[in-house]
Structure 1
Amino acid sequence: MDKNLCTIRWNQSSEMYASELLTALQKESRGISNADISLARAYAMEAVSYVPEPYKTIYSSDYFTFLYESFLELKKRCPDALIVKQEIDCDAYKRALFRIREKNDSADTKKDAMNRFISIVHIYLTFILRKPLHPVGMVFPGGLKISEDGSEYYCPVKDKQSESGISFCEFCICRDSEELK
């Protein structure tokens, strides 16, 4: 496993299926130790240390729990008929890995652990489950929430955070909540 991020290879024809990606993510997930998860959790807690409640708890504890539960689900998931035939957009996948790599900082062990952890979980959520990177119902400042309308997901900060350069929103499947108006 590349210690920095998920690096599945795909064949010469640039085709990749979700079942291949799932298998690679599961293999890489075995390289994430309990110590790595503890370091990632510590990073999540420190990253919001100056955020007022209740957002501090939402962004650290609740969000990390969502990520951890997704990680555990990934480790146990068996490919079903939909995953086997679901094709992955290789260009979008490469862009996501590039953005993850840009945020890596191997000099900071906690940030490095968090980045390796979310590189697996975010890729799983985005390309296998096709779900948002935050849980539906997660509250943002102002009381705005991630919402679901049928098979579409909406985020109140999608476009705002995508521009910041510090988030992974640009490859999240959510649409901006403004589109609902």
Structure 2
Amino acid sequence: MPNGRNHISDGDRDGESAYIKDIAERMSGCLRKCELGEFIAAEIKKYSRYDLQIISARVRREVDILPEPYRSKFRPYSERWFFGRYHKLLLLSGEKAFAADGRGNAENPFCRDITDIETFKKFCAVIHEGCMHDDGQDDEAEILRKLPRHNLFYYLLNAFAMFVMDEPGHPVGTPFPGGMTVTQTQEGYLCPIRDKEEEILHSICNFCPAKQDPKNL
């Protein structure tokens, strides 16, 4: 259980709701990448090893139910999303990369304004709803229940990727059914599903810096 919210029990949705709303509101006040990166790192560090084990188990389970051969192609990218970004964030924070004089480099790329502040604020505005959303899967094993704070972990890591690193929500190379993948060009990132989830208001795709791949309109 994250430090600083030990008073919230696993079944206390009202407590988690208030906690997540506070996180989202405070995060929306960040204006610079370094400020946002340090904020996210501080919140991510509050997750216990037990929380991380549960989140990791859910990530693996969601991949396990995919059909082959897509499952085997997708798995490395799901692990890159979870393990790769988590460790990258902690590494940068540990190196003081988000400090004003991070890495002793006056040209520190994180000492800049968030690239698309308007989209970032819209992203923050849907975090609470996205975290509290009930997907109706009541048949989940109790230990793998998707708790609101575990959903928050997902939004925090994606905020790091999309608004601190300016990377797409799905890592470059991520495959999708049909054979198309997330790609990087000189003009930026292209994703085959970027504009396909507009009706799901809390989907990260709606805030991703990638553009819709014109080959899959």
User: Aligned letter for 2:91?
Assistant: K
1:63-142 equivalences in 2 (<5 Å): 63-77=78-92, 78-79=97-98, 80=102, 81-87=108-114, 89-105=116-132, 109-142=145-178
- How far apart, in 1, do the equivalents of 2:49 and 2:68 lie? 28
- CA RMSD of the aligned region, Å? 3.1
Partner of 2:196: helix, strand, or coil?
Answer: helix
Q: Point out 4+ residue stretches in structure 1 off by more than 6 angstroms.
A: none
- Tell whether 2:177 aligns with 1:150: no
Give the count of matched residue pairs.
179
Q: Which whole-Å CA distance do the structure 2 matches of 1:92 and 1:69 have between them? A: 24
Q: 1:7 aligns to what?
A: 24
CA–CA distance in structure 2, aligned partners of residues 42 and 169 of structure 1: 23
Structure 1 CA distance, aligned partners of 2:27 and 2:153?
21
**Residues 36, 113 of structure 1: 8 Å contact kept:** no
- Structure of higher CA gyration radius: 2
Q: Report the alpha carbon displacement of residue 150 of structure 1 after superposing the two structures with TM.
A: 1.4
Counterpart CA distance in 2 for 1:62 and 1:110 is: 21
Is the contact between residue 16 and residue 88 of structure 1 (CA under 8 Å) also seen in structure 2? no
Letter in 2 for 1:100: I
**Cα distance 1:146–1:8, how it changes in 2: closer, same or farther (>3 A)?**
same
Closer/same/farther in 2, CA of residues 117 and 58 from structure 1, 3 Å limit: farther
TM-score, with length taken from structure 2: 0.69
- Cα distance in 2 for residues equivalent to 1:22 and 1:171: 17
1:123-166 deviation line (CA, Å, top 9, x unaligned):
00111100011111111111101001015000011111333446
2:198 is matched with: 162
Letter in 2 for 1:135: P
Identical columns (%):
22
Amino acid in the other structure paired with 1:121: L
Q: Which TM-score applies when normalising by structure 1?
A: 0.81
In the alignment, the residues of structure 1 paired with residue 115 and residue 188 of structure 2 have an alpha-carbon distance, to the nearest angstrom, of: 18
2:63 and 2:71 in contact (8 A); partners too: yes
Q: Between 137-146 and 102-111, report the one with greater CA deviation.
A: 102-111
In structure 2, distance between residues paired with 1:51 and 1:180: 22
